[in-house]
Amino acid sequence: MSKHESPLALVTGASSGIGEATARAFARQGWRLALCARRKERLLSLRPALRELGSPHVLVHGLDVRDEAGVKAFAETVLAEQGCPDVLVNNAGLARGTERVDNAEGTAWREMVETNIFGLLYLSRAFLPAMEERKKGQIIMIGSVAGWSGYAGGSVYCATKAGVHKICEALRLETLGMGIRVSSIDPGMVDTEFSEVRFWGDKEKASQVYEDFEPLHAQDIADCVLFVATRPPHVNIDRLLVMPTAQADPWHVARSPKKQS
Ligand SMILES: NC(=O)c1ccc[n+]([C@@H]2O[C@H](COP(=O)([O-])OP(=O)(O)OC[C@H]3O[C@@H](n4cnc5c(N)ncnc54)[C@H](OP(=O)(O)O)[C@@H]3O)[C@@H](O)[C@H]2O)c1
């Protein structure tokens, strides 16, 4: 199979967690890949494994999705070297801190809004014209259960993920009749580096989030991305809310404390 015969998936935030698992899932199906994240060294070390799994071509790029000019340059490189992505997975994102509004300093608010909202808007804008021209294409956003229910200490993170739904709704209307599909996949708790980032690198605090119950694994969400990406062209999954069996909403988790010996 030549490198231009297999479909192309572009995955943002592929250096860890859901993004990395998604890259592996597409690689196993023989898709070409364009990957970005700020930690390019991680993408470079992941690349041989992705080739081994079956991806015929893997482009990696160090990118901060908040960098508007950087996103434009990345998109130009992808379009020139690999063509238009069949699927754009806007996965890069983060929660930072658990500040309540009344004592928030505000820096983290900006980081979340710029990453979780502006980032996916810049990426989507960069590839929509090529998708429109081809009359096909798919944009899959990684949202969150936080976009469905707010929780104390999560105001801005929840707002960004609720915003993802509104952006999807607008995009579905803006691209209606153009053969373009737009979806969001909204996980509950997934055991990734997410909580470590949220707690500014505090591994112990982060690990407590996933204690005494089985959270989702990154692979579970990658499976969903692949499912959504491989439906026939006339099928669009608008939204998929995916929870661990032991979690009912952002704060209600059925934990089973370890037995004391
Ligand atoms: N884990 C959960 O419980 C959970 C639940 C619901 C939704 N989500 C969503 O799932 C998505 C992936 O998170 P994850 O759980 O896989 O966490 P993760 O392991 O921390 O991965 C986050 C990815 O996003 C990238 N990223 C963050 N900021 C970026 C930026 N400014 N520019 C480019 N890349 C950036 C990171 O790469 P670099 O640091 O190398 O840039 C990393 O690859 C996020 O949108 C998150 O909101 C996660």
Atom of ligand 1 nearest to the CA of 191: 1
Binding site membership of 44 for ligand 1 (Cβ less than 6 Å)? no
> What pTM did the predictor assign?
0.97
Q: Across-strand partners of 142? A: 185
**Cα–Cα distance between 40 and 99 in angstroms, integer?**
30
CB neighbours of 117 closer than 8 A, spacing ≥ 6? 160, 163, 164, 167
Question: What CA–CA distances, in Å, run from 1 to 46, 60, 83?
Answer: 22, 21, 16
Q: Is 191 strand, coil or helix?
A: strand
Closest-CA residue, ligand 1 atom 44, reads 93
- 8-242: which CATH topology? Rossmann fold (3.40.50)
Is 122 an annotated catalytic residue? no
In this predicted model, what pLDDT tens digit does every residue of 176-227 receive, in sequence order? Answer: 999 999 999 999 999 999 999 999 999 999 999 999 999 999 999 999 999 9
In this predicted model, what pLDDT tens digit does every residue of 54-112 receive, in sequence order? Answer: 999 999 999 999 999 999 999 999 999 999 999 999 999 999 999 999 989 999 999 99
pLDDT given for residue 1 in this prediction: 45
Are the C-beta atoms of 59 and 82 separated by less than 8 Å? Answer: yes
Q: What confidence category does residue 259 fall into, taking pLDDT thresholds of 50, 70 and 90?
A: low
Binding site membership of 215 for ligand 1 (Cβ less than 6 Å)? no
Domain ranges for the chain, please list them. Answer: 8-242
